[in-house]
Amino acid sequence: MELDLNCDAGESFGVYRLGLDEEVMPLISSVNVACGFHAGDPRTMRRTVRLARRHGVAVGAHPSYPDLVGFGRRPLDATPEEVEDDVVFQVGALLGFCRAEGIRLNHVKPHGALYNAAADDAAVASAIARAVRAVDPDLFLVCLSGSAMVAAAETAGIQHVEEAFADRAYAPDGGLVSRRIPGAVIHDPGPVAERVAMMVTEKRIRAIDGTLIPLLAQTVCVHGDTPGSVEIVRAIRARLSQEGVAVRAFGPREAVP
Amino acid sequence: MELDLNCDAGESFGVYRLGLDEEVMPLISSVNVACGFHAGDPRTMRRTVRLARRHGVAVGAHPSYPDLVGFGRRPLDATPEEVEDDVVFQVGALLGFCRAEGIRLNHVKPHGALYNAAADDAAVASAIARAVRAVDPDLFLVCLSGSAMVAAAETAGIQHVEEAFADRAYAPDGGLVSRRIPGAVIHDPGPVAERVAMMVTEKRIRAIDGTLIPLLAQTVCVHGDTPGSVEIVRAIRARLSQEGVAVRAFGPREAVP
Amino acid sequence: MELDLNCDAGESFGVYRLGLDEEVMPLISSVNVACGFHAGDPRTMRRTVRLARRHGVAVGAHPSYPDLVGFGRRPLDATPEEVEDDVVFQVGALLGFCRAEGIRLNHVKPHGALYNAAADDAAVASAIARAVRAVDPDLFLVCLSGSAMVAAAETAGIQHVEEAFADRAYAPDGGLVSRRIPGAVIHDPGPVAERVAMMVTEKRIRAIDGTLIPLLAQTVCVHGDTPGSVEIVRAIRARLSQEGVAVRAFGPREAVP
Amino acid sequence: MELDLNCDAGESFGVYRLGLDEEVMPLISSVNVACGFHAGDPRTMRRTVRLARRHGVAVGAHPSYPDLVGFGRRPLDATPEEVEDDVVFQVGALLGFCRAEGIRLNHVKPHGALYNAAADDAAVASAIARAVRAVDPDLFLVCLSGSAMVAAAETAGIQHVEEAFADRAYAPDGGLVSRRIPGAVIHDPGPVAERVAMMVTEKRIRAIDGTLIPLLAQTVCVHGDTPGSVEIVRAIRARLSQEGVAVRAFGPREAVP
């Protein structure tokens, strides 16, 4: 059995440092690299792609609404055409750095408010899927499991993987529990690792009300922004190793640098 | 005989419109498309690449220092590493739109203060040449004729073309006369067309002091920012037609969309 | 009788020119100056404040969501605290130029999507009113007539004026007819001037369904972005002159530079 | 005897945190607040001004060239008019927050590459001095001791203070030793405190070649970006206390919030 662990990185900007990219990179199989709209600048993108190459981590673009001061977390009422072109721009820019470092660009995962909009709004999801296909029809789109993004990828005729979140509680209907609800985020490494193991071995998860629900995920999102989150990734890897699950990027073998 | 006519375009931004792109595009063979650092935004880049495709014009990137408010005209003391990564970013972003529109990216021509720095400073020129090679070793670098950019392209092992300016006076040493000197810019279509014809048929030009000097140029820069400049391009084309010179992009035939 | 005519200006940016500020400035009594978030840069702000001073036009700030590429027209889900601080920043920046030119800053009018949000959402309107009061409790807030902004200004204890739109159709309930509805914008100078005259002399207007509705407005918004819109302002002024209505800024006499 | 200790702060941006503002604020008497061009955003400016108010620290603006990605450290060939208007904008924006927090804006100190340019180039220094006077003729300009800024302030007719650097080596001619020279920056708290004590009590300092040179400084620049730099500030304060020197902002008593 195999599972991809993906993590956002390259979210520094200029002199500002954010994220423990050096620490988390050896532990993951895919990285989502910020492209300058919510974080990241050309120097940071170069450094992050180079770091991924050294660790054999598959590289994806992490496009956002244009909102550096808001870190791409604020919903913006952009048209589908604006979203499409913003994504082409950002994916292209990262493609430049992948070429410069001699590796393949493997996937695209929208960031923050754009990810949330794409999960709910078919027009936004379709705009993103069209942009991804336009830049490279072999790119994978990373989709919230069961969301509008999956249908958009299928309609556009591009490959996709469904994503689950290691540290987030799920509602009985399979949706993510809002971060505003107590218990929505799980901070303890043991239980998080246990949940990831169940996702991959049983294809289901225990929802916040205790019921067991099905959950299909080819990739699981982890975090590298704090020492605690890196600790969680280590616990997940140890547990997956016990279960005989290999941590490996989706996509073609040659995607791994 | 053949000559490339190149022109900057895609220099609008958001609601702001700059340049008569629709008027000049049918008259040129290569276009330098702004990539967001001095002008241009994703919507404008898409629109400009699409327009070039419709007119069979070869597309190049027009990277700049990051200075939107100064239109990339102000020298900035960036390190060669910063320049290299800024150029990779911008060329990659435009590559995304070329792929989206199904055409080949053909060349890179630095903009404004970055062009001037590259013409004089070998470290800046080399940084640009490395960036171009890194994104795509088949790209051409457009270089000020006889400048440091030519040597940088040769050292980097990438193709280049040498550029002359249709409406600019030349010093006896082959350099451009500073815009601050009276007579540095020629505004009359007839004389400009005459000069371009001499460049291509005689490989030389009359300098500001009246002497004839050699000038090798595979591409001539024209402008599309005012009705008068478009008129000049029409005059150049008419004159080149009389001389039996075809206006055609450099590079492989398949570069022409 | 008196009426204020207000107009947006200073919406150029760097080399980009937008709006016929020179043409419209002699015709209006108040100007709303862009502060860099949707348009405007320090040079443009200086030039615009200076132009207003020369024509004796009262100056106001025209703050926006931070969205240069979208010209501040796209709703952004900013928190009230973010809106408040964004408005303090922009009003303060314009205050700097008013001091530099030796004139009084007279009012604040939110721009585009921020204006629309403030008209509907009490939290946004209150955030703006608090920001205005914080920078200078003598500033006027320009409010959409009858909207949430009026209540917010009253709660904050700052002065306000209610605004009507010269060229927009009104619904029977007093709201603006959406621009998507045919007939929402009136382009003919004669009818527009007639409507403004009725607003000021009868304190009412004919709604899109033909009914006469009350409309209280101390200021009427006009446009200076096209030759046609400047023509409309001339027609309004001519008609107001016939009616014996003076065009004059609200606020203290010393607000007029 | 009295001495002002000034420190840069408010250099966070959006989610990015930079500088130990909370730790250093109780130790200083003046703070230079970033205004959005090299660092800082409206939320950060508000937070920083509020923090200064709570600690009775005098507030100044810290304007920069527009270069967020380069943190204002890269020389930019801006015209004096551009510098003047950029400074008016930034000082005005911070003035907005000072008014919002009910305190006086006390001084202006240029940042990074703009400070260095102003120290050497009379045209840049004069542009800054004119901008400061234009916004508020009672503001102090913080000048590198003995530099072109001093003359510019005097010509403009504004107040100024001369600044020394606690942790920098001085050349025998009174200039700062370039950071590229070994020994240019002193990291040990004891020697730094000793140097500051000598500056204030003897009005001179030991240059890098061992000679004693005169140095007049009404304010000394300290840093709050690392735990080590905060430790140095503590050592300076302890030593000044031993010498009976009070740490106090320059300017009127009412400048201290």
pLDDT at C164: 96
User: What burial class does residue C182 get, using C-beta atoms within 10 Å of its C-beta: 0-12 exposed, 13-18 middle, 19+ buried?
Assistant: exposed
Smallest CA-to-CA distance from B128 within B64, B73, B74 is with B64
In Å, how far is C133's CA from the nearest CA of chain B? 31
Mutation site, B69, B71, B73, B111, interface C, largest C CB count within 10 A: B69
Q: What angle do CA D7, D12, D17 make, to 5 degrees?
A: 110
**Per-residue tokens: C235:** 């027609």
pTM above 0.95, yes or no: yes
Q: Is A81 on the interface with B (CB under 8 A)?
A: yes
CATH 3.20.20.370 applies to domain C2-255 = yes
With 70 as the cut, is the pLDDT of residue D70 above it?
Answer: yes
Residue C240 has φ and ψ, to the nearest 5°, of -60, -35
Contact yes or no for C239/C201 (Cβ under 8 A): no
Q: Which residue of B has its CA nearest to C15?
A: B71
pLDDT at C253: 73
**Per-residue tokens: D233:** 């500030």
* Domain residue ranges of chain D, discontinuous segments joined by +: 2-255
Amino acid letter, residue D67: D
Q: Is B69 in contact with C41 (Cβ distance < 8 A)?
A: yes
B18 contacts in chain C (CB < 8 Å): 15-16
Smallest CA-to-CA distance from A186 within A153, A142, A232 is with A232
B15 contacts in chain C (CB < 8 Å): 18, 71
A78 contacts in chain C (CB < 8 Å): 70, 74
C-alpha to C-alpha distance for A64 and A43, rounded to whole angstroms: 18
Mean pLDDT of D157-171: 96
Please give the mean pLDDT across all residues of chain D.
96
State the SS3 of A212-241: EEECCCCEEEECCCCHHHHHHHHHHHHHHH
Smallest CA-to-CA distance from B43 within A161, A250, C71 is with C71
Q: Is B71 in contact with C15 (Cβ distance < 8 A)?
A: yes
pLDDT at C192: 97
**D89 → closest Cβ in C45, C86, C135:** C45
B100 contacts in chain A (CB < 8 Å): 88, 131, 134-135
In Å, how far is D43's CA from the nearest CA of chain B? 23
**Per-residue tokens: B196:** 């371009």
pLDDT at B253: 73
pLDDT at D153: 98
pLDDT at B252: 86
A69 contacts in chain D (CB < 8 Å): 13-14, 41
Report pLDDT digits (tens) over C33-71. 999 999 999 999 999 999 999 999 999 999 999 999 999
Percent of chain A with pLDDT over 70: 99
Please give the mean pLDDT across all residues of chain A.
96
Q: Quick one: DSSP state of residue B129? A: H
Mean pLDDT of C216-245: 96
Q: Is D113 in contact with B66 (Cβ distance < 8 A)?
A: no
Question: What sections of B140-226 are H helices per DSSP?
Answer: 148-156, 189-202
C77 contacts in chain A (CB < 8 Å): 74-76, 113
C94 contacts in chain D (CB < 8 Å): 92
Report pLDDT digits (tens) over C104-130. 999 999 999 999 999 999 999 999 999
C-alpha to C-alpha distance for B45 and B65, rounded to whole angstroms: 17
State the SS3 of chain D: CEEEEEEEECCCECCECCCCHHHHHHHCCEEEEECCCCCCCHHHHHHHHHHHHHCCCEEEEECCCCCCCCCCCCCECCCHHHHHHHHHHHHHHHHHHHHHCCCCEEEECCCHHHHHHHHHCHHHHHHHHHHHHHHCCCCEEEEECCCHHHHHHHHHCCEEEEEEECCECECCCCCECCCCCCCCECCCHHHHHHHHHHHHHHCEEECCCCCEEECCCCEEEECCCCHHHHHHHHHHHHHHHHCCCEECCCCCHHHCC
Q: Is D81 on the interface with C (CB under 8 A)?
A: yes
Residues of chain B where predicted confidence (pLDDT) is lower than 70:
254-256
**D134 → closest Cβ in C82, C92, C100:** C100
In Å, how far is B57's CA from the nearest CA of chain C? 26
pLDDT at A66: 98
pLDDT at B106: 97
In Å, how far is D32's CA from the nearest CA of chain C? 16
pLDDT at D255: 64
pLDDT band, very low/low/confident/very high, at D205 (cuts 50, 70, 90):
very high
In Å, how far is B74's CA from the nearest CA of chain D? 5
**B100 → closest Cβ in A43, A45, A134:** A134
Q: Is C67 on the interface with A (CB under 8 A)?
A: yes
With 90 as the cut, is the pLDDT of residue D113 above it?
Answer: yes
Q: Is C42 in contact with D85 (Cβ distance < 8 A)?
A: yes
Q: How many CB pairs under 8 A join A and C?
A: 27
pLDDT at C254: 66
pLDDT at D253: 73
In Å, how far is D17's CA from the nearest CA of chain C? 17
Q: Is D85 in contact with C134 (Cβ distance < 8 A)?
A: no
How would you label D74-86 residue by residue, b for 16+ Cβ within 10 Å and e otherwise? bbbebebebbbbb
pLDDT at D90: 98
Q: Is B225 on the interface with C (CB under 8 A)?
A: no
pLDDT at D252: 86
Q: Is D66 on the interface with A (CB under 8 A)?
A: no
Report pLDDT digits (tens) over D207-245. 999 999 999 899 999 999 999 999 999 999 999 999 999
Residues with Cβ within 8 Å of D43's Cβ and at least 6 positions away in sequence, in order, are: C81, C82, C85, D14
In Å, how far is B11's CA from the nearest CA of chain A? 16
pLDDT at A257: 72
Note down pLDDT in tens along chain A; length 257 residues. 999 999 999 999 999 999 999 999 999 999 999 999 999 999 999 999 999 999 999 999 999 999 999 999 999 999 999 999 999 999 999 999 999 999 999 999 999 999 999 999 999 999 999 999 999 999 999 999 999 999 999 999 999 999 999 999 999 998 899 888 999 999 999 999 999 999 999 999 999 999 999 998 999 999 999 999 999 999 999 999 999 999 999 998 766 67
